[in-house]
A and B are shown apart, each in its own frame.
Chain A
Amino acid sequence: GQQVMQIPQYQHVQEGEDFTTYCNSSTTLSNIQWYKQRPGGHPVFLIQLVKSGEVKKQKRLTFQFGEAKKNSSLHITATQTTDVGTYFCAASENYKLSFGAGTTVTVRA
C-alpha cells in the first residue's frame, strides 16, 4: 500500500516563528489529508488536497500539494501555543487511509 514519510519527526518552535512539516511519497497520490492531534486527544481532520499544485489556507496554516502529487507540506506562520500537537498527513488508497508517522510540535513561549 501507499506509504507516506513525514519529516521532521519533532519540531521545537519558538513562539512567533514559522515552521514547515513535509510529507513525501514514492508513488503518485490521489489525494492527501492532514490531521492534527492535540496531546491526550484524538486526530482531527484539517484539510484534504486533491489537485496537483493545490494550495489551501486556513488562517495561519498553509497546505500545499506538489505538482507531481507525490509530496505535500504544511506551513504554519507565527506559531502559537495552541499549535502544539502532532500533525499527520494521510494518503488514501482503496478505501483506507495510510497515516504518516506525524510531526510532533512543541512551542517555546
Chain B
Amino acid sequence: DSGVTQTPKHLITATGQRVTLRCSPRSGDLSVYWYQQSLDQGLQFLIQYYNGEERAKGNILERFSAQQFPDLHSELNLSSLELGDSALYFCASSGGGGNHEQYFGPGTRLTVT
C-alpha cells in the first residue's frame, strides 16, 4: 500500500460525458501528479500540482483539467469524453519536485462507451 488513494476504482461512462477522478496523496506529500496509461501510449504525464499550485504540465488535453485543494487532495476532471480517453488514470504523490521518488495510487480505470 503506497498510501495514495484514488476513487473511484472503475468508471464506465458514455461519450460526451464528464467525470471527476479523485486522489488523496500520502500524508505529508505536497506534490500530486496525474498520469494516463493506455496500451498504445504507455505512461503519459498529464499535470503536477505542488501545495495547491500548478507546477508542470505535460500532454494534457484542453478537455481535461485538474486542481489541488487546500487539504492537498486533487481532482482530475475529464469532459466531452471520447472513446480514446479510455485508459488507466494514476495519481502519484511525492514530497517535492520531479527529483523525488513518486508513490502511485491504485489507479482509476475509465471506460468510455
**Do chains A and B interact in one complex?**
yes
Give residues in A with beta carbon < 8 Å to B: 30-31, 33, 41-45, 48, 88, 92-102
Determine if A30 and B43 form an interchain contact, defined as CB atoms under 8 angstroms apart: no
B interface bracket (residues with beta carbon within 8 Å of A): 20 to 34
Report the separation of the CA atoms of residues A31 and B98 in the bound assembly, to the nearest whole angstrom.
10
Secondary structure call for the B interface: strand
- A sample of 5 cross-chain residue pairs with beta-carbon separation below 8 angstroms, ordered by A number, consists of A43-B90, A45-B102, A95-B48, A98-B45, A99-B42
B11 to chain A minimum Cβ distance, whole angstroms, is 16
Instruction: From the candidates A31, A41, A93, A97, name the one contacting B102 in the complex (CB within 8 A).
Output: A97
User: Assuming A96-B33, A96-B45, A101-B42, what are 16 further A-B pairs, CB within 8 angstroms?
Assistant: A33-B101, A42-B90, A42-B104, A43-B92, A43-B102, A44-B2, A45-B101, A45-B103, A48-B99, A92-B99, A95-B97, A96-B56, A96-B98, A97-B45, A97-B102, A98-B45
Determine if B45 and A99 form an interchain contact, defined as CB atoms under 8 angstroms apart: yes
Determine if A43 and B45 form an interchain contact, defined as CB atoms under 8 angstroms apart: no
> Which residues of chain B (71-113) have a CB below 8 Å from chain A?
90, 92, 97-99, 101-107
> Which residues of chain B (56-76) have a CB below 8 Å from chain A?
56, 58
B102 to chain A minimum Cβ distance, whole angstroms, is 6
Report the separation of the CA atoms of residues A88 and B106 in the bound assembly, to the nearest whole angstrom.
17
Determine if B33 and A97 form an interchain contact, defined as CB atoms under 8 angstroms apart: yes
Report the separation of the CA atoms of residues A64 and B38 in the bound assembly, to the nearest whole angstrom.
28
For B48, list chain A residues within 8 Å (CB).
95-96
Given A44-B2, A95-B56, are A30 and B99 neighbors across the interface (CB < 8 Å)? yes
Determine if A94 and B104 form an interchain contact, defined as CB atoms under 8 angstroms apart: no
For A101, list chain B residues within 8 Å (CB).
42
Report the separation of the CA atoms of residues A43 and B106 in the bound assembly, to the nearest whole angstrom.
9
Q: Does B55 contact A (CB under 8 A)?
A: yes
